[in-house]
Amino acid sequence: MANPHLHFKTNYAVSSKIEPFYKGGKVQISKDENYIFCTCGSRINVLEISTGKIVHSVEHDDQEDITSFALSSDDELLVTASRALLLKQWDWRQAQCTRSWRAIHTAPVASMDFDSTSTLLATGGCDGTIKIWDVVKQYCTHNLRGSSGVVHLVQFHPDISRLKLFSSSMDCSIWMWDLSTSLCVCMLQSHYSAVTSLSFSPDGDTMISSGRDKICTVWDLKQQNAKRAIPVYEAVEGVIFLPENQDFSQIGVKNPKLHFVTAGSKGILRVWDPNTARCVFSQTLGTVSVKKDDEEGEEEEKKDDNPRSLTHLLLLPASSRLATVTAEHNITLYQLAGLTTLQQFVGYNDEVLDVKFLGKDDSHIVVATNSCQLKVFELLTNSCQILYGHTDTVLSLDVFRKGSLFASCAKDRSVCVWQMDSGHVRCVARGTSHTNAVGCISCSRMKASFVASGSLDCTVKVWDLPADLTAAEESIQQLTLRTTEKAHDKDVNSVAVSPNDKLLASASQDRTAKLWSLAGEGNLGLLGVFRGHRRGVWTVCFSPVDQVLATSSADGTTKLWSLQDFSCLKTFEGHDASVLKVIFVSRGTQLLTSGSDGLVKLWTIKTNECVKTLDAHQDKVWGLHGNRRDNRMVTGSADSNITVWEDVTEMEVAEEQAKQEEQILKQQELSNLLQEKKYLKALGLAISLDQPHTVLTVIKAIRQTEDSSELLEKTVLKLRVDQKEALLRYCGVWNTNAKNCQDAQVVLQVLLTHVPPEELLQYQGARTHLEGLVPYTERHMQRIGRLLQASMFLNYMWQKMRVVGEPSSMDQDEEMDTSPLVQPFFTIDKDRGDVENREGEDRDSGQDEDPSSPLEDEEEEDADVSTTRRVSARIQSKEGGKTNGRHPSVSEESSEEEDMDEEEEEEAGKAAKRLSASSTLSQTIAS
């Protein structure tokens, strides 16, 4: 089965991704017309128009949704507003927040706009107020009240010398504010529904407004009254004046007077002459490949949720372009002269149900996204062509061998065949004969002669393609039904045509897969049934070289079957949930499977082993397809993401192995340097590996030597500046762990002692690292302080227990240690039995105690009973459990215990002394 000279695939790397970048809300284009700014939940994504890639993204730390944003006229400042009533100013190119302040609004900000000087920012709130902010001097300049309800539109007059601001709220009026007096100059009343957009003439004396009341009104700003109300017969969401001194004859502009463009619920752009109130040009929907009857089209226009309706209209004057945003979050760029489509970007894909490579050299992919439209993406630019043909959700796709022809099936019970010519895709044939949703489709493999489909009506149909698909450019031909077969007892989930076009396999929810003959004329001939899955079978696939068949099932397994005797050859188990798709790769020697667990697994058939698990999706992976050259694959998931994967070549594998071998050699060299006690070279090598744990190993090795302090100081100070910067960064990492904090502190002591503060602060990120060290250092100081106090208290209790009942043979000259303490310690209050913190006092009066006298106060004994029991148990464990009356007898082992306590106390004192060196951190930061 396997070719011994074939190299198995071992890994795939992500080549590119198509992810959601716009989920509704405001859209703005930069002044240089290179970027599109879009809201996407709690983020603002910046899309580069030339490449279609997301190049920048800013996000609020609190994960609150962004309600509005505004980009300054000079493209330098980006200000966002969130539901937390917080305004943030961003350096969007670096994705850094430069300033944040609380909005004075009592409800979220609904609209924002910058003036032409990029100095003033207007915010309209859901509380009915408008605030004007000076973003340079950073204060609120105006607080405008009077509007009722949500202020959903604020816009400065383009001529800043006029100091006018226009706003609109739920009262459907347009308020004109004079910023010099903070008063409303007038209320422009003409609309009976929400005002959606405003546009100003080049001279600034004329304004046009649009509304959802299907009216556009032209205003004379000098006279402050309406010149004309123009009925446009659709809810208008965007309106703009056409630029002056340009040729727009292609779109019906015959005179140099002002004309305007509208975009609204019909989903088309229309050009109007305000003087005659006539529409001089109406755009045709060139992306619609399957035209509907007039009655059906009129019914769709009457719908409020028309997916083609336009929600935004933007002008790009420098490049003479227009941009529109649809209700389905698609952004389209048009050439202004003829309103022809230039580019289209899909801001949000719903669940991806299927995806296939398309075109020459797999330059495109076609995607079914839980909608009635198909999307064809150009991988180089992410530009998308949207195909209209089905009237319900598209469920499955398949591509013919040449790659320019593909087929689709949908819930509308139809099968469509599409052809791509020079990047443009249109529907060329259609078939409708199923009585229920068509869930799967497969194309002939040898030549484009037929397609097979499977449906929820439990039947499998074979359709013959027309002889000449290019006979009529605009008309759609009909597919010829060759045969229909009642194939299964439940829904048909998958069909597949064999590489020689002689066999057909089908898989069903009835837990079986079947093999059919396509060689004869007429009906399908049943050849055999594959039984063995415990749940419904999702996918069936023929091997490209062997007489075997692969199936995947909802029982979490993938099975390999023999076409000779229909027996199960192998079973692959590894997914935690349903296996949704399976394909052959590496000339039939390996399998790729995708599941509802979001994973893609690579299997080697000969060893029955999963060699790689790819985790790139968060939900069911419905789409899985490999290209013809077998070096790429594409996956589509219910998480709305599409991922293109590249097969990792042998060269890349060799490079990775070389890197690993280099790491091993460096580790060995490091070990040799430590053995030879060449600590400076070892430390430099460890820093070059950029592994904090490896550097820590070298530091620990230095500290274990004699004269470790002097050696460490000498080694650290000989490092280069960049190495010291790395060492300072590592100290912040080590200091977070109590086990490694002393190593961090000794290195930090050397740096703080010998490097001047002004030089230290010049280190890259020094201030941030030092600020991060302070809280952990304080925590370690507190811990060491508690340890010292506990050790003193334990020593005190030990002395008390030693002297009570001590034999007369005890050395009378032996006294308790009464040396003063540097750190605070605890003693027992004889009156209350609680612990006090006394500082600078001796722990006893200095007088010798009577070894035979009992404790003076029973209350003190009661207070210490738990501690005494613990210490007594510790001593008993040392002496084998021997006791003398109430008190344990003193032995040599108890003396050793005393020595050990003194050593612990001494070690704690040393640790406190080392940590005390970090007290200069705050002073260094302050300086």
> Is residue 839 predicted with pLDDT exceeding 90?
no
Lowest mean pLDDT among 60-64, 298-302, 813-817, 831-835: 831-835
Give the pLDDT of residue 664.
84
Asked if the structure places residue 924 within a domain, the reply is no
For residue 8, being part of any structural domain is answered with no
Name the residue among 594, 595, 592, 591 with its Cα closest to residue 577.
595
Contact 602, 9 (CB under 8 A): yes
pLDDT band (50, 70, 90) for residue 875: very low
Determine the structural domain holding residue 695 and report its residue range.
657-787
Q: What percent of the chain has pLDDT over 70?
A: 82
Reply yes or no on whether the pLDDT at 885 is more than 60. no
Task: Indicate if the pLDDT at residue 834 is higher than 60.
Answer: no
Q: Is the pLDDT of residue 154 over 50?
A: yes
Predicted pLDDT at 534 = 95
Residue 385 lies in a domain: no
Query: pLDDT tens digits, residue range 85-113?
Result: 999 999 999 999 999 999 999 999 999 99
Strand partners, 72: none
pLDDT at 633: 94
pLDDT higher than 70, residue 2:
no
Q: What is the pLDDT of residues 584-625, one digit of tens each?
A: 999 999 999 999 999 999 999 999 999 999 988 999 999 999
Q: What does the longest C-alpha to C-alpha distance in the chain come to?
A: 125
pTM for the model: 0.69
Q: What is the pLDDT of residues 379-434, one digit of tens each?
A: 999 999 999 999 999 999 999 988 889 999 999 999 999 999 888 899 999 999 89
Domain CATH for 77: 2.130.10.10
Residue 202 lies inside a defined structural domain of this protein: yes
Rounded Cα–Cα distance for residues 873 and 797 (Å): 13
pLDDT at res. 909? 58
Tell whether 25 is covered by a domain: yes
Q: Counting beta carbons within 10 angstroms of the beta carbon of residue 659, is it exposed (0 to 12), middle (13 to 18) or buried (19 or more)?
A: exposed
Least confident of 170-179, 195-204, 245-254: 245-254
In a domain, 124, yes or no: yes
Domain membership flag for residue 95: yes
Looking at 190, 224, 250, the residue that finishes a domain is 250
CB within 8 Å of 860: residues ≥ 6 apart: 828, 830, 833
Is residue 156 within 8 A of residue 116, CB to CB? The reply is yes
Assign residue 82 a region (left: φ > 0; alpha: ψ between -120 and 50; beta: otherwise): beta
**With bands split at pLDDT 50, 70 and 90, how would you rate the model's confidence at 372?**
very high
Q: 513: pLDDT confidence band, cut at 50, 70 and 90?
A: very high
Q: Which two tokens stand for residue 198?
A: 């405003």
Provide the pLDDT for residue 440.
97
Question: What pLDDT does residue 195 have?
Answer: 95
Lowest mean pLDDT among 101-110, 575-584, 668-677, 761-770: 761-770
The per-residue pLDDT for 201 is 93
Residue 317 has pLDDT above 90, yes or no: yes
Sheet containing 260-264: which strands, arranged edge to edge?
236-241, 260-264, 269-273, 278-282
Which of 201, 233, 250 delimits the end of a domain?
250
643 Cβ neighbours under 8 A, 6+ residues apart: 14, 16, 17, 18, 616, 617, 634, 635, 636, 637
Distances (CA, A) of 341 to 20, 145, 284, 286, 464: 22, 43, 11, 9, 34
The mean pLDDT of 837-853, rounded to a whole number, is 38
Q: What is the pLDDT of residue 190?
A: 92
Looking at 627-686, which runs of residues are DSSP E strands? Answer: 632-637, 642-647
Highest mean pLDDT among 254-258, 440-444, 710-714, 831-835: 440-444
Alpha helices in 289-428 (DSSP H): 294-302
**pLDDT tier, 911 (very low <50, low <70, confident <90, very high otherwise):** low
Mean pLDDT calculated for residue range 43-49: 95
Q: 561-588, pLDDT tens digit by residue? A: 999 999 999 999 999 999 999 999 999 9
Residue 486 lies inside a defined structural domain of this protein: no
Which of 762, 787, 812 is where one domain is finished?
787
The per-residue pLDDT for 461 is 95
Residue type, 687: I
The whole-number average pLDDT for the span 533-553 is: 96
> pLDDT category, 881, cuts 50, 70, 90?
very low
Number of domains in the chain: 2
- pLDDT for the residue numbered 825: 35
Amino acid 451: pLDDT = 95
pLDDT at 872 (0 to 100): 45
For residue 775, give the H/E element and its range. Answer: helix 766-803
Whether 99 and 89 have beta carbons less than 8 Å apart is answered as: yes
> Any idea which of 155-164, 467-476, 751-760 has the lowest mean pLDDT?
467-476
> CB atoms < 10 A from the CB of 116, how many?
15
With cut-offs at 50, 70 and 90, classify the pLDDT of residue 307: confident
The confidence band for 877, taking pLDDT boundaries of 50, 70 and 90, is very low
Averaged pLDDT for residues 641-664? 78
Residue 908 has a pLDDT of 55
Q: Reply yes or no on whether the pLDDT at 69 is more than 60.
A: yes
pLDDT at 705 over 50: yes
Mean pLDDT, rounded, for 842-862: 39
